[in-house]
Structure 1
């Protein structure tokens, strides 16, 4: 495994990090606890030391799963990344930004983006309890909240750093301008943003701003939630309640299929999967610190971890990038 320093922090994170959105079950048509725990342990056994989660993933279930699974392991060798600011108790209707109504275990919950100082303090205590730990390596704001001044949120994070409850503070889904605004109040460790072969918008402003200010970039959805694995073009179906039924609609699926067919010979020649080739490509992109990869079972977890071993030559990289440009997939 490769390890990379995150921004100006002392955190050294695994280049491929375990992403736990799917095992939470929310939006993913459920989760199998045994499979999820095996995926977490297989990730660790194969060199992944960094686990990324959030309270929203399963309404606390993802954090609880991770906490329970690693409770007997050496905590000093594992980095826990979690988030705050997506609330579902309905108490912030006049404060936070409404996102959507989310179905969960037969009930409908209004989801709000809310990042007030009081809420940050409240949520971190809940996350510490669920994760069964006394500190969080990186605490990240999940989404920008227009109803709370950025300065207020960052001051709360700085206080948590001083108290030793978190080691570093980051954000997610921030624009370049929002990153600069946050930097006025805190030394920002990172910005977690969507980035993939099909979604490269951060290359224009976010990445240059991050590099200039020594802020790490954490890429999420590098496989576009499984689309770039190619398996959905080979007959694999999704459950009706799986959010990807709608999510995949944002892409020109015929173009995606053609692109994957064009690079598949490279994967076959290396005896690796398309997923592994795509993940490795993502880790090699300029300005990307670490890449999140979700796994719902042991097999997926092992595959993700071993993607770091894939060697892509300069000629192969040029071919992949040429195919991307030719098919106008960059967004």
Structure 2
């Protein structure tokens, strides 16, 4: 496994990170908690040391499962969680008010069973709360020793400029993959200039870039990824399939899974620290970790880029 320093922090994180949205059990279909724990532990055994979670994933369920899985292994992992998305029944409410964050962080610490969170991230912006109020509270919580480093998720360049003028931010977690490249225009260059690390989510395009789908899938009850990601709808679906064919060719050449090609493309983009990848089984965790053992050649990267431009042209993928 390769490791990179996350932004200006002293955190050395695996280039393949573990995303836990799927194990929350309320968005990606049914999950088995025992298997989820085994999956996290297998990921750790394979060298993945960054585990990214959030209270919003299963209304605290993913955090509880992570907490169970890391018992006796705390020294082997870097724990990243989030604040700012509060559940009210089926609704997701953005709330970055200071009193809400104070409550959230204490609940996260308890569910995770840790004394301190390594990376605490604002999950989504909240336009109803002044960012300064949020930052002031987060600074106090960091000074109180509840978390070590501050990161943000889903911030555009304007918000990045705003928050970095107030306090140090070591990372941004945006959606980024071969199917969603919107950050390349302005937010990625901003982070590169400032030495801010990038943790990508959706790195495999909701599973499309693994090559496992030969036709448009019909997801089980409770698996709503096609509502969140637009790639399952035309015309993006057909174009994604053309791109996957190119990834499959390269995968066959190097004798690796298609998912490795997609993960390594993300990881080899300038400024990216870690590709977060969601998994539901120990076998998936082990396979994805293997992407951290090798890299694409320059020729392969150029071939993927040429194919992307031919298939998608200059279309905005947002």
For the pair 1:305 / 2:289, whether they are aligned, the reply is yes
Kept after mapping to 2: 8 A contact 1:24/1:30: no
Corresponding residue of 2:207 = 226
Q: SS of 2:51's equivalent?
A: strand
Cα deviation digits, residues 144-173 of structure 1 (max 9, x gap): 000111111111111121111100011110
> Structure 1: where are the runs of 5+ without partners?
90-107
Residue in structure 2 matching 1:282, options 266, 279, 288: 266
Q: CA deviation at 1:178?
A: 0.3
Q: SS of 1:13's equivalent?
A: strand
Residue in structure 1 matching 2:138, options 152, 157, 163: 157
Corresponding residue of 1:100 = none
Distance 2:302 2:34 in 1: 41
Distance 1:2 1:193 in 2: 21
Q: Which moved more, 1:64-73 or 1:242-251?
A: 242-251
Corresponding residue of 1:189 = 170
Q: CA deviation at 1:236?
A: 5.9
Corresponding residue of 1:71 = 71
Kept after mapping to 1: 8 A contact 2:200/2:275: yes
Distance 1:118 1:196 in 2: 35
How do 1:98-113 and structure 2 match up within 5 A? 108-113=89-94
Q: CA deviation at 1:234?
A: 5.6
Residue in structure 1 matching 2:161, options 160, 180, 192: 180
Q: TM-score, normalised by structure 1?
A: 0.91
How do 1:250-289 and structure 2 match up within 5 A? 252-289=236-273
For the pair 1:322 / 2:303, whether they are aligned, the reply is no
Distance 1:29 1:174 in 2: 28
Distance 1:179 1:245 in 2: 29
Q: CA deviation at 1:77?
A: 2.4
Distance 1:319 1:238 in 2: 32
Distance 1:193 1:178 in 2: 13
Q: Which moved more, 1:211-220 or 1:293-302?
A: 211-220
Distance 1:66 1:45 in 2: 15
Kept after mapping to 1: 8 A contact 2:83/2:120: yes
Cα deviation digits, residues 109-138 of structure 1 (max 9, x gap): 322100011111110000000000010000
Q: SS of 1:327's equivalent?
A: helix
Aligned residues: 312
For the pair 1:215 / 2:199, whether they are aligned, the reply is no
